[in-house]
Structure 1
Amino acid sequence: MNALLTYVAATAGLALAASGAEAGLLLYSRTAGPGSPYPDPQVDEYPTLSVIIPAYREGERVMDALDSAAGLDYPRDRLEVLLALEPDDDVTPRALGRLAGCAEAPCERGGIRVLVVRNSSGIRSKPAALREAARAARGDIICVLDAEDVLDRDAAKAAVGAIAGDVAAVQLARDARNPRERGPITIAQHGELEANNNYFIPALRRLTGFVPILGSGYFVRRSALEEVGMWDPRAPAEDLDLTVKLYERGYRVEFLGSPRVHTLAVTSLRGLIRQRERWIRGTLLVMPRAMKVLGRAWPVVLSYMVSPIAWILADAWPLIWFADPAAQALIAGASAASLAVYALKLRMQGGAPSAPLVSIVYAMAAWLAVAKLMVAPRSWSRTRG
């Protein structure tokens, strides 16, 4: 019985800490406000910009990202687009050859140079492909845009204008292009993205000065990127790993509420769990270094990020509900705190009921992440297969 009470007390305490941290960030975000749009910067001479689009067997879907990059409001002679492909990808080049006339050789799209770069590193992963493409790029600024994403036309000027001094990178706010395509799955992701844009990232920035790079729709100064060794080719969450490396060198990342990058939400539950498993595993690998960057605020951030693990450990609560009155009180208290945070989320997100599905996905993904940490901690799996 003592062992059961100890288990319940420990898991309830962890769940309460996670709920408290989440509620604190939600409430604090109301004073922080969303990421602010930047005015059109007055730049005497724009630096060269290379937009890298990592793709794997995307087919015609990559054309949206390609046309978005080529259509940016940016000096034509200072903009180029690179497609970072794996050696065995023959689907994307066929689509490019048919629709853009550049299966492998350099070509032009909208007056912009387009270059296809194969990942010859021997490591099959997005960060490895990005490294290969960055070496072939000519830009002083590197933009990463996923193959299913599109940028607002004014994104480049706004982001480049914000990169100055110790600001080495800029992350654009992200939203879902297909919020209702697959019902609850895509609606939940849309709600999560809007919560990040309007509440969590602004609160995190104001509380800690820390802004995470989110994998797509970010711009980074090439010199800073090279200084930190570029992307780790084996990092499961290469974006967070790069963020921490930049902060470790004294750089900062800025967050823009607008313009935005518009992404395709994952439409399958399997793909969503695979994506979140990789994120959680990558976060756990980076967290020891991130805690140093976050300074005194790391307990709050860590409590928030371990929320999925807290509720995994709580899976056994229904089995021991009747074991002891003290256990019942602890379980009831932690559950009430979680429900209160959920109600707060609903109110702040305009009633979008995304939290339950997101919580279930994170719980399942966290189980997989913990298992993979033991057998293949640095393996890399693609969201869409």
Structure 2
Amino acid sequence: MTGQRDYEIFEAGDVTLQSGAVFPAMKLAYKTYGTLNAAKDNVIFYPTSFSAQHFDTEWLIGPDGVLDPTRYFIIIPNLFGNGLSSSPSNTAGPHPEITYHDAIAVQHRLLTERFGISKLALVYGWSMGGMQTYHWAALHPDMVARAAVVCGSARCAPYNYVFLEGVKAALTGDPAFRGGRFVERPVAGYRAMGRVYAGWAMSHGFYRDELWREAGFISLEDYLARNWDTTFARRDANDLLAQAGIWQRGNIGACAAFGGDLDRALAAIKAHVLLMPGATDRYFDFRDNEDELPKLVNAKSAVLHPIPSQHGHRAGNPVNNPRDTAFLKAEVAALLSK
């Protein structure tokens, strides 16, 4: 670690991607919490979500949190494209297309080469982190003991894909997007993206019942302006597009091992699986998990427990939402007891 940086870097070297392109000097940023035990079997792997860095997701780690660092060694790998791991904003030259399969391959090297870890007590992830969790369980079935997929799915469903097309259109409509990339910060594009996202991320009931008031906002416009207009401006716009592409290409079956067969990939999973969609999530719809559940034929156990919340997709990342946090904590505790 150097300077004020609170994370570490795994230098993966030149990596041949699933596409055949070579990504030079690929870097994976990660942070650890807790202590790895002598048996190296107390590991929780917690991948990040869209635009998130570990700073954004570590809030649920704590002795009384959803993930307990006094019992487990917790690792957060920052997904490529988030500005800390290799991303358009910190990589010279063209940025090749990356898939979840590429990300999991480098994450696996981090675990095995740097830590000598061969077993994961739990892979836990929300949203894009949930999709990575599914990939981990399918690609490394003998390594993953338990998988908690929170507001995620085994592939990017068509409706989810179309949602992202709208988000990308709002961002790239800014005049700063020229020649296929952003040449300066898209101030209007960030705001437009946030306003589009606001209608998808939260549910009809969230707005109907004015639940934004629980977070201290005084009006709907106050909520949109302070919560959504600037939320994506924290990130480089080219990074956001890169991660949206990873999301849209997501499919656990889309690799040589499974030949594009999603059902075959689901059948490869051996872990205890907990699927926790948001009951009112609009783009990671719980019906996708309903379709996946009966295909987890070789899982040690598989349950579908939707989060009973009006917070839409954000039910799976319930910052300052104690009710949904308590639900996640209880479900994860039950999973870890198996």
Q: Indicate the TM-score class for this superposition, using the shorter chain for normalisation.
A: under 0.3
Higher CA-based Rg: 1
Return the TM-score normalized by structure 2: 0.26
TM-score (norm: length of structure 1): 0.24
Instruction: Indicate the structure whose relative CO is greater, using CA pairs within 8 Å and at least 6 residues apart.
Output: 1
